[in-house]
A and B are shown apart, each in its own frame.
Chain A
Amino acid sequence: METAIGVRNVTKTYAEGGVRVAALDGVDLDVYRGEVLLLMGPSGSGKTTLLSIMGCILRSSSGSVQIAGSEITHLKERDLPRVRLRHVGFVFQAFNLFPTLTAQENVEVALELKGVRGAQAHKEARELLARVHLVDKCSAYPADLSGGQKQRVALARALAGSPEILLADEPTAALDSHTGRAVLELLCELAHEQNRAVVIVTHDSRVADLGDRLVHLEDGRISSVERLGNRLATTPQGGPNSQSTFARL
């Protein structure tokens, strides 16, 4: 399998009141394309820090990070946004949609940042919203959407420009259990159907069965790696599974 993210002996330390605290301590991890990796662990275990480093939002204190085969630890701060734009899509716990823009415009912002403009951006935004079965909500503002619908818009935005990596931080935390599970199923489908690497940070052990691998973090170290092997069955068209997923959302 092709490695999308390679993390080697990564540490991240913060200075807190003059004391150095290790948020990550010698983490080694590969994330493959077509794989859904669940990152779990108690609060303060370093999940979000690791996600931020894999998403080029945070720089590691030491170690090596490769994104799509390229070493990024030596890149300058100003070059990181370009890596994020090209390779990574983000899904946030609180959706982080732009409240003053419609669903379609939210997706268009991401497309525009990736150099897609005008009529092409309109077309692609509609296609992405159709992919998450929200084409009828193109003109709706986030305030008029349900939690599940907002997260689907956020997913469509994350898919803009077709990045090979999707990073999701607690994507189900603001959703009820049914809607949350449906969103995770959707993420899994997007990973498996389109050969993306999907990393999901979650506290919710009830959805653990949806991933391909489960990585437990504790005190900044990987405490266990569990292969789940529960890939969703899909049809070539996105299939009945995804239809039922969207219906529940």
Chain B
Amino acid sequence: MPPLARRNLFHDKIRLAVTLTGITFAVLLVVVELGLFLGFSTTTSSLIDRSRADFWIASRNVPYIEQGSPFSERKLYQVRAIPGVASAEKYIVRFAGWKHHDGGQETVQVVGFNVSESSQQVSGGRVEKSGQLMGGPWNITSGSVADLNAPNAVMVDDLYWKKLGITRVGEVFEINGYRARVVGTTHGIRSFTTSPYVFTTFKNAQNFGLLREDQTVFILVRAATGTDLKELQRDIESHVSDVDVLTTSRFSNMTRSYWMFTTGAGMAVLLAALLGLIVGIVVVTQTIYATTMDHLREYGTLKAIGAPNSYIYRVILQQAAMSAVMGYALGIGVSLFLVRSSAQGGIAILLPWSMAALIFALTLLMCGIAAAVSINKVTTLDPAMVFRN
């Protein structure tokens, strides 16, 4: 088959460049906005998703993790007494003031968990590393969870060291008037609120968070193997009063939904992605339409010599598809660069394969819509035009 579509597309290099630039930027915009949405969404609930708990017990009507309010830790013992509960631990997520060496202040989120739980997480005769603890940090790059047992010990993600004025492990700061010594580092644990997470022991977190000694903010529950989770949830609800018992996925969704939709942050990002798509469609439609208009006489000739409309549609669709593939490849290439760069920053742009595939489909759709406008023009083309000069 003579490569009419390809030749037409590559014939005018400047127009091709404009077309590809339009598609590339549309892809880039959509990737960045959807990637930001996904990154934000994942970040808002990362503590919950990585908690390794089956249930979160919170005060009544807590809408999201940062809004937890203290309750008596005596409920912990009621929970532990319920059959089917393998383990239950107190857990704190609480805003606090971090004081720089120069006296400046930053707001942080203190995350307090039961560090001694690590000694219970025995597997094959050895204590497992972090990430196996309920509510503990993950991606530890220096130090260990065990180091948090030291007095006033805290662990801070390296993405926020500069923000908090940390230059090395061992440095001492103040959190709400209490000493805090940095004993380790994680990597990639971002906070959506821009207040960095500071992991520490439950006891330290009570101090940093200005809570009473008998208070906790959450109780994390892990069910025994083989337990019916729905039944266990009902049991906890019936035995422990004045609390909500939320599955991890439910609490994760509540938190994501709050930050993404109740605050409007997510809608703004999604709207920007939609705008990117619309801008892309407009640019590509314009350029593909202009290319079609440039070759209108050729399409008229094809019709005159007997080509069915479907043949001409195929030529236009091939042009659109080739534009889509090239623009997508360029757009995704630039996007990958941005995604990698964002891994070193406080805002994550995520690009999982499923999203890359979705955006490819969107790019094809965008170019398909653009081609449809041109096809509509060609459909009404009078082949007798070839006799008019």
Residues of A whose CB lies within 8 Å of any CB of B are 48, 51-52, 55, 57-58, 78, 81-86, 88-90, 92-94, 96, 98-101, 105-106, 108-110, 112-114, 117, 157-158, 169
Interface CB pairs A-B, < 8 A, 28: A57-B304, A57-B383, A57-B386, A57-B387, A81-B303, A81-B306, A81-B308, A84-B304, A84-B305, A85-B306, A86-B306, A88-B306, A92-B387, A93-B389, A96-B297, A98-B7, A98-B298, A100-B7, A100-B10, A101-B2, A101-B7, A105-B4, A108-B2, A109-B302, A113-B302, A113-B307, A114-B306, A169-B387
**Chain B residues in 8 Å Cβ range of A98:** 2, 4, 7, 298, 301
How many of chain B's residues have a CB under 8 angstroms from any CB in A? 24
Q: How far is the CA of A48 from the CA of B386 in the complex (A)?
A: 11
Which residues of chain B from 281 to 339 have any CB-CB distance to chain A below 8 Å in the complex? 297-298, 301-308, 311
Bound state CA distance, A27 and B283, in angstroms?
50
The answer on a CB contact under 8 Å between B386 and A90 is: yes
Is residue B14 contacting chain A, with contact meaning CB distance below 8 A?
Answer: no
**Residue of A with least CB distance to B297:** A96
Judge whether B249 is part of the interface by a CB distance below 8 angstroms.
no
CB of B314, distance to nearest CB on chain A (Å): 11
- Cβ of B11 under 8 Å from chain A: yes
B8 on the interface (CB 8 Å rule)?
yes
Judging by beta carbons under 8 Å apart, are A96 and B386 in contact?
yes
Known: A85-B306, A96-B386. A117 touches B298 (CB 8 A): no
Q: Contact check, A96 vs B301: say whether CB atoms are below 8 A apart.
A: yes
> For the complex, what is the distance from the CA of A55 to the CA of B304, rounded to whole Å?
9
- Chain B residues within 8 Å of A, Cβ to Cβ: 1-4, 7-8, 10-11, 297-298, 301-308, 311, 383-384, 386-387, 389
Whether B4 contacts A109 by the Cβ 8 Å rule is yes
Q: A82-B306, A113-B305, A113-B307 are in contact. Are A51 and B387 (CB under 8 A)?
A: yes
Chain A residues with Cβ below 8 Å from B306 are: 81-86, 88, 113-114
From A88, A92, A108, A157, residue with most partner B Cβ within 10 Å:
A92
Instruction: Please determine whether B305 and A90 come into contact, CB atoms closer than 8 angstroms.
Output: yes
Q: Complex formed: what's the CA distance from A112 to B2 in Å?
A: 8
**Which chain B residues lie closer than 8 Å to A113 at the CB level?**
302, 305-307, 311
What residues of B have a CB within 8 angstroms of the CB of A51 in the complex? Answer: 387
Residues of B within 8 A of A82 (CB): 306
Residues on the B chain within 8 Å of A108, using CB: 2
Q: How far is the CB of A131 from chain B (nearest CB, A)?
A: 18
Given contacts A90-B386, A109-B4, 12 further A-B pairs with CB under 8 A are A57-B304, A57-B383, A57-B387, A84-B305, A100-B7, A101-B3, A105-B2, A109-B2, A109-B302, A112-B1, A113-B305, A113-B311
Closest approach, in angstroms, between the C-beta of B19 and any C-beta of chain A? Answer: 16
**In the complex, A86→B306 CA distance in Å?**
8
Q: What is the bound-complex CA distance between A51 and B386, given in angstroms? A: 12
> How far apart are the CA atoms of A192 and B305 in the complex, in Å?
23
A139 to chain B, nearest CB (A): 13
Closest chain A residue to B301, Cβ basis:
A96
CB of B4 within 8 A of CB of A58, answer no
The residues of B that contact A84 with a CB separation of less than 8 Å are 304-306
CA A115 to CA B297, docked complex, whole Å:
23
On whether the beta carbons of B2 and A52 are closer than 8 Å, the reply is: no
A residues near B389, Cβ cutoff 8 Å: 93-94
Bound: A88/B2 CA distance, A = 21
How near does chain A come to B292, taking the closest CB pair, in angstroms? Answer: 14
| Best-surrounded residue of A89, A94, A100 (most CB of chain B within 10 A) | A100
Q: In the assembled complex, which residues on chain A have CB atoms less than 8 Å from the CB atom of B7?
A: 98, 100-101
Known: A100-B4, A100-B7, A101-B7. A52 touches B305 (CB 8 A): no
- Compute how far the CA of A90 lies from the CA of B384 in the bound complex, rounded to whole angstroms: 12
A52-B384 contact given A81-B303, A112-B2, CB 8 Å threshold: yes
